[in-house]
A and B are shown apart, each in its own frame.
Chain A
Amino acid sequence: MIRKTVDVAVVGGGPAGLSAALSAKKNGAANVLIIERGENLGGILNQCIHEGFGLESFGVALSGPEYMQRFIDDVEKHRIPYMLDSMVLEVSADKKIIVSSKEGLFEITSKSIILCMGCRERTRGQILTPGTRPAGVYTAGAAQNFINLKGYRIGEKAVILGSGDIGLIMARRLTLEGSKVLAVAEILPYSSGLPRNMAQCLDDYGIPLYLSHTVTEIHGKKRVEAVTLAQVDERFKPIAGTEKKIECDTLLLSVGLVPENELTRKAGILIDEQTAGAVVDEDLQTSIPGIFACGNVLHVHDVVDYVSLEAERAGRSAAEYAQGKEKKPQTIKTTPGEGIRYVLPHQLSADSDVKLSMRVMAPARNVKLILSDGDRVIKTLMKTRVNPAEMIQVTLKKNELAGCKKIIVMLQNAK
């Protein structure tokens, strides 16, 4: 085994990993290392050739690879070393990382570690779609990879299940490639994608969206021949009599993302079952001191710019930890209240301004977002529209946190 020692090891070389590594370096960590299993840096953004990245951070609409190139150039400029085609097999609580690569099996000991493994797609098996199991059923991300990176045509007539952003983007991509998208079905009564993607990917191409619908059966022995769509009731059960069979050769699934926390769990790090990511404090430190998490492995983000920003914070914290800087006690606990699915981070100090990230349970109009410490309202924000697809961020000032023991976030009707 090849042994190595570094100050900050970054697991994953996607948007979160690169931003975290750069920030660690800029905050004084001498010896930073990025470990990436793919053959390039950039993560999932490499296959996202559509535009719409970087509006928040750079003020221009970039494609995925363009957005990433800015970070990759910066990584090169700062001479941050990276390992490619290198799979992290294990992260241990004593901060040793086992990596498999062509050059050999590495054991890397690091003062601090930043977890940036991203997420994977939910599959047909996990949503329990009945029917046969033919070829032609793809997760939207896998389809995107085949089409955008390999030039394959995955089918001629497609139905898409799930109106998440990847599903919407793929509806447009397939149409542009000359395939016919017959329907997008969404089990919820509202789309789970960003409104701008709804407009630009479906409406502009006249692709029908069936809300409160799901696929109740897949047909075809060898290759998909048809799918049955049906309307669902408020408990998501298909309503008898509403079935329609649509002939197609392809079913794309865009039915949710799952943070890739196998390494995290194996290391013994505490997980929040709501986000399926680690429990973290305002430094993005997990339950194991010196191990940090950011990006989609922590919680699924809607916009990559927020990933990069969050990762900057994690990078800074990891650098400080590696340099032995003292840490502020994290005494304030955050809790999602009525109408809120989750709030991050889970613990705060009252020592600096802090940005909270949260998502609501369901879409709503004209609501008040209330942050309180249980007795006293700290902050109230009016929102004309909230949507589970869109992450909400709220900054709390240091003085607003003074004297708080906890922060409860809830939604209330504005009237």
Chain B
Amino acid sequence: METRFDAAVIGGGVVGCAIARELTKYKLKTGLFEKECDVAVGTSGRNSGVSHAGFYVPAGTFKAKLNIVGHELMPSLCKELGVPYIAVGKIVTAKEEDEREYLYKLKETGEKNGCKKLRIIDQKEIKRLEPNINGIEALHSPTTAILDPFLLTISLAENALRNGACIHLNTEVKRIEQSSDGFTLETNNGKYAAGILINSAGLYADKIAAMAGITGYEIHPCRGEYHLLDKNKRNLINGAVYPVPPKELGGLGIHLTPTTDGNIMLGPSAEYIPEPDDTANTSEVMDKLFKESYEFLPKITRKDIIKSFSGIRPKLITPGSKSPADFIIEESRKIPGFINLIGIESPGLTGAPAIAKKVAEMISKIRGGLVENPSFDPTEKPKIRFAELSNREKSELIKKDPDYGIVVCRCQSVTKKEVIDALNNPLCARSIYSVSKRCRATLGRCQGGFCLPKIIENLEEQHHPQTSDINYAGKGSELFTGKKEGIE
């Protein structure tokens, strides 16, 4: 007999992981399936990392409600899970006379939605908040925050695991069949049974629904490209800086967003693309991104860019549409017990904690109530960041464990101990991607040129992998095609 779950979540993005963790608060056998080598490999690891205050989303929508609640829940959730969360604030700046009106509209929408502390500020105050930014008027939202979307997703998954959920990585759901008491899932790693199925597959959610015969959903992938700047430029802005968005419905406009690790991201663009997994960067957009950001912030140069990447929005609207679409979060009428989350684009990261609660309520309704899990522990230990400690603290740590004294990643000062801890993560994710997103090695200005050989040395010491099992981000992304014998 295959393993049976009371509830199975498809998709290890921030939404799926938040749901899985929420369900472990109850006596429910919960499983999560993710096709990639780790969680947060999809859209959840490719976004602006902003906890939005909630003034972009039309009043009265699901999006608005979940955004506001999510933003309220986020600081305490991040605290529980030891995830970096910084309320850096944000300004939306008008540069031209005819953009002013948009700011007032945003403020009005925000207030209708329940956003707190929004104010319109003048040129002088813009300069005080952001000396390097020009604007004639701006909307200031002091509660807008940045967070580490990788660590949030990872910690949600690790906490779910610790509270009893099963997390299956490298496991792709390929077929779904209805059974007398729920569903049978066919994966590349065998069959599983589930009472309730939660489709949180992001860009693939329409395909997952279709596997169960639920038609009518159609996701239109819309790519957003970014540049990431060297940390030595971090002090050019204080908080997030957004423009008045372009007229077409694409996104929020190319903005400047600090990361919790101390970089600045420029982006994202917005282009509809045919494939949901085409995260390439294109020369035209890379050029445009830089030029538009430069207009905002003339103190940057192309030399400051250390990396470019992209994320893809699961849009429910097509390029020409005039009105935005709402999140779809519903139990299928045709197939009871099958919960679909479709079109979870921005503010999906912000909304994730609220979405999780909403899904738990839906499950409670389906099952006629849920029993609390008395041993649920909401906390995760924050990851130690050697680089951020005082000399006294560093000194104490090295005394405790000498591996804290060996710096492996020079750009981000990540130590051997932090790398080893990342390599021994509870999800057993062993790729370089998993190490770097947990401890931040390879993500600095040299992009792993220096530390990659050392990380692999540690990987070998800890887990003795076959050469063919050393990969960047799962099967197919092998780093090497062989190894000579006899070389140490």
Bound-state CA distance A77–B227 (Å) is 50
Contact between A221 and B277 (Cβ–Cβ < 8 Å)? yes
Out of B281, B445, B448, which one reaches A142, CB within 8 Å?
A: B448
Bound-state CA distance A151–B482 (Å) is 9
Contact between A100 and B394 (Cβ–Cβ < 8 Å)? yes
Chain A binding surface, main DSSP class: mixed
Q: Chain A interface: which of B56-64, B175-183, B395-403? A: B395-403
- Quote the shortest CB–CB distance from A385 to chain B (angstroms): 30
Given contacts A102-B398, A125-B307, A128-B308, contact A153 B483 (CB under 8 A): yes
Contact between B280 and A132 (Cβ–Cβ < 8 Å)? yes
Q: Chain A interface: which of B82-90, B236-244, B314-322, B473-481? A: B473-481
| Residue B305 at the chain A interface, CB threshold 8 Å | yes
| Residue A5 at the chain B interface, CB threshold 8 Å | no
Bound-state CA distance A149–B452 (Å) is 13
Interface-centre pick from B278, B308, B474 (highest chain A CB count, 10 A): B308
Contact between B395 and A104 (Cβ–Cβ < 8 Å)? yes
Q: Across the two chains, which residue of chain A brings its CB closest to B387?
A: A89
Contact between B481 and A156 (Cβ–Cβ < 8 Å)? yes
Contact between A151 and B308 (Cβ–Cβ < 8 Å)? no
Q: Chain B interface: which of A133-141, A192-200, A310-318, A350-358? A: A133-141
| Residue A121 at the chain B interface, CB threshold 8 Å | yes
| Residue A235 at the chain B interface, CB threshold 8 Å | no
Given contacts A126-B305, A221-B476, contact A103 B402 (CB under 8 A): yes
Contact between A223 and B476 (Cβ–Cβ < 8 Å)? yes
| Residue B472 at the chain A interface, CB threshold 8 Å | yes
Out of A126, A133, A150, A262, which one reaches B309, CB within 8 Å?
A: A133
CB pairs A–B below 8 angstroms (27 shown): A1-B392, A37-B407, A87-B407, A100-B394, A100-B405, A102-B405, A103-B405, A104-B398, A104-B405, A120-B445, A124-B447, A128-B283, A133-B281, A134-B472, A135-B472, A135-B477, A142-B450, A142-B452, A150-B453, A150-B456, A150-B483, A152-B467, A152-B480, A152-B484, A156-B481, A222-B473, A265-B232
Residues of A within 8 A of B394 (CB): 100, 105
Query: Given known contacts A87-B410, A89-B407, A133-B309, what 12 new A-B pairs fall within 8 Å (CB)?
Result: A105-B391, A121-B446, A125-B306, A125-B447, A130-B282, A131-B280, A135-B471, A150-B456, A150-B483, A222-B474, A238-B283, A265-B232
Contact between A151 and B486 (Cβ–Cβ < 8 Å)? yes
| Residue B105 at the chain A interface, CB threshold 8 Å | no
Residues of B within 8 A of A156 (CB): 481
Residues of A within 8 A of B335 (CB): none
- Quote the shortest CB–CB distance from B230 to chain A (angstroms): 9
Out of B232, B407, B445, which one reaches A100, CB within 8 Å?
A: B407
| Residue B371 at the chain A interface, CB threshold 8 Å | no
- Quote the shortest CB–CB distance from B319 to chain A (angstroms): 22
Bound-state CA distance A222–B37 (Å) is 12
Residues of B within 8 A of A154 (CB): 479-481
| Residue A393 at the chain B interface, CB threshold 8 Å | no
Residues of B within 8 A of A104 (CB): 395, 398-399, 405
Bound-state CA distance A301–B447 (Å) is 23
| Interface members, chain A 243-277 (any B CB < 8 Å) | 249, 262, 265
B-side interface residues toward A, CB under 8 Å? 228, 232, 277-283, 286, 302-303, 305-309, 391-392, 394-395, 398-399, 402-403, 405-407, 410, 413, 415, 445-450, 452-453, 456-457, 467, 471-487
A-side interface residues toward B, CB under 8 Å? 1, 37, 85, 87, 89, 98, 100-105, 107, 120-121, 123-126, 128, 130-136, 139, 141-142, 145-146, 149-156, 216-217, 221-223, 238, 249, 262, 265
Residues of B within 8 A of A105 (CB): 391, 394-395, 398, 405
Given contacts A101-B406, A121-B446, contact A133 B453 (CB under 8 A): no
- Quote the shortest CB–CB distance from B283 to chain A (angstroms): 4
Contact between A145 and B405 (Cβ–Cβ < 8 Å)? no
Out of B446, B452, B480, which one reaches A153, CB within 8 Å?
A: B480
Contact between A151 and B478 (Cβ–Cβ < 8 Å)? no
Interface-centre pick from B303, B406, B474 (highest chain A CB count, 10 A): B406
Out of B399, B405, B475, B483, which one reaches A152, CB within 8 Å?
A: B483
Chain B binding surface, main DSSP class: mixed
Contact between B405 and A101 (Cβ–Cβ < 8 Å)? yes
- Quote the shortest CB–CB distance from B276 to chain A (angstroms): 12
Q: Across the two chains, which residue of chain B brings its CB closest to A148?
A: B487
Contact between A249 and B481 (Cβ–Cβ < 8 Å)? yes
Interface-centre pick from B302, B309, B399, B445 (highest chain A CB count, 10 A): B445
Residues of A within 8 A of B486 (CB): 151
Residues of A within 8 A of B391 (CB): 1, 98, 105, 107
Given contacts A100-B394, A105-B391, contact A135 B478 (CB under 8 A): yes
Bound-state CA distance A412–B337 (Å) is 82
Given contacts A100-B398, A124-B447, A141-B449, contact A135 B286 (CB under 8 A): no
Residues of B within 8 A of A216 (CB): 283
Bound-state CA distance A104–B483 (Å) is 35
Residues of A within 8 A of B457 (CB): 150
Bound-state CA distance A346–B479 (Å) is 44
Interface pairs A-B: 8 shortest CB-CB: A151-B487, A222-B476, A151-B484, A125-B307, A153-B482, A135-B472, A87-B407, A222-B477
Residues of B within 8 A of A146 (CB): 453, 480
Interface-centre pick from A133, A216, A223 (highest chain B CB count, 10 A): A133
Residues of A within 8 A of B473 (CB): 135, 222
Contact between B483 and A85 (Cβ–Cβ < 8 Å)? no
Residues of B within 8 A of A152 (CB): 467, 479-480, 482-484
Contact between B283 and A130 (Cβ–Cβ < 8 Å)? yes
Bound-state CA distance A153–B281 (Å) is 28
Q: Across the two chains, which residue of chain B brings its CB closest to A88?
A: B407
Residues of B within 8 A of A103 (CB): 398, 402, 405
Contact between A120 and B306 (Cβ–Cβ < 8 Å)? no
Residues of B within 8 A of A128 (CB): 283, 286, 302, 305, 308
Residues of B within 8 A of A131 (CB): 280-281
Bound-state CA distance A37–B410 (Å) is 9
Residues of A within 8 A of B482 (CB): 152-153
Given contacts A135-B479, A151-B483, contact A89 B283 (CB under 8 A): no
Given contacts A152-B483, A153-B483, A265-B232, contact A132 B279 (CB under 8 A): yes
- Quote the shortest CB–CB distance from B309 to chain A (angstroms): 7
Bound-state CA distance A154–B467 (Å) is 11
Contact between A223 and B398 (Cβ–Cβ < 8 Å)? no
Contact between B395 and A130 (Cβ–Cβ < 8 Å)? no
Bound-state CA distance A101–B402 (Å) is 8
Bound-state CA distance A110–B305 (Å) is 36
Contact between A102 and B402 (Cβ–Cβ < 8 Å)? yes
Residues of B within 8 A of A85 (CB): 405-406
Bound-state CA distance A101–B404 (Å) is 8
Interface-centre pick from B402, B449, B486 (highest chain A CB count, 10 A): B449
Residues of A within 8 A of B467 (CB): 152
- Quote the shortest CB–CB distance from A84 to chain B (angstroms): 10
Out of A1, A120, A136, A149, which one reaches B449, CB within 8 Å?
A: A120
Given contacts A104-B399, A123-B446, A123-B447, contact A130 B281 (CB under 8 A): yes
Residues of A within 8 A of B480 (CB): 146, 152-154
Residues of A within 8 A of B302 (CB): 128
Given contacts A135-B477, A145-B453, A150-B453, contact A130 B280 (CB under 8 A): yes
Bound-state CA distance A120–B449 (Å) is 8
Residues of A within 8 A of B277 (CB): 221
- Quote the shortest CB–CB distance from A264 to chain B (angstroms): 12
Residues of A within 8 A of B399 (CB): 104
- Quote the shortest CB–CB distance from B118 to chain A (angstroms): 36
Contact between A149 and B453 (Cβ–Cβ < 8 Å)? yes
Bound-state CA distance A238–B287 (Å) is 13
Bound-state CA distance A83–B309 (Å) is 39
